[in-house]
Amino acid sequence: MRILVLGDVVGRSGRRAVCEALPHLRHELALDFVVVNGENAAGGFGITPKICGQFLQAGADVVTTGNHAWDQKDIIPHFDKEKRLLRPHNYPEGTPGTGMGLYEDGAGRKVLVLHFMGLLFMPSLDDPFSGMDRAMLNKKMGGDIAAIIVDFHGEATSEKVAMGHTLDGRVSAVVGTHSHIPTADHQVLPGGTGYMTDLGMCGDYDSVIGMKKEASIARFRKKVPAPRLEAAQGEATLCGVVIDTDDETGLATNMTPFRRGGRLAPTPEMT
């Protein structure tokens, strides 16, 4: 199975790039399943039902979010209506929506997607490590579940690496989101789980992590309230990873970074 996971979509530039490219990428890369992190798609802050629908219509199978999940108020009831839209699973019980879902690819193979958020330098939520253990009870690859993909949304690289090793051999891949900067540590861990600390963003890299430079710099220099941050509108770079899995075990056979368009150097074309 071949799975594409795209990092945080930022603003109009990022969502336009994703929606325009995704139909072609599904064919070009022979993708079986696609996950898109859309938490910054609405002007850099959250996601709306309309934007979520655009990603799904373009070819995403699942849309994940993160700490900005609730920024757009009209999205809150949508988490209970649209089962392909996930928020971090370790929000308290009673929070709208869920952070896990079992889906099917075009061939009927089942893919479990788990979405959790880290605790270091992030909002205070339930422990993601024990929460992950509970979510994984009685869920194993190689039988009814063909693949398990984890979007771990976190700030600290150490926490993401720890989650990767915790789940090594139990899931197909653990990919980090949130920092908007792609890391170079893509690998298949010793137990067969694919890992990458952060996928980067789908947005304009002539920016400060997707936001216009001037207001972002002012916040660092002046230490006083500055103009509201706005998403940069230049050409976006699509950033993510392509995960190839073994059909028998569900474990990763390859982790290939994916970058296209915009300012960052593109990754080589895949076969």
Task: Output the six-digit token pair for 191.
Answer: 């137990």
Per-residue exposure over 122-160, b if at least 16 CB sit within 10 Å of its own CB, e if not:
beebbebbebbeebbeebebeeebbbbbbbbbbbbbebb
State the amino acid at position 6 in one-letter form.
L
Number of CB atoms found within 10 A of residue 107's CB:
9
CA 80, CA 32: separation in Å to the nearest integer?
Answer: 26
CA 236, CA 69: separation in Å to the nearest integer?
Answer: 22
CA 101, CA 122: separation in Å to the nearest integer?
Answer: 23
Positions annotated as catalytic residues are 68
Contacts of 199 (CB under 8 A, 6+ apart): 5, 6, 7, 8, 37, 175, 176, 177, 182, 239, 240, 241
Is the four-CA dihedral 226, 230, 233, 239 of positive or negative sign?
positive
Contacts of 166 (CB under 8 A, 6+ apart): 129, 132
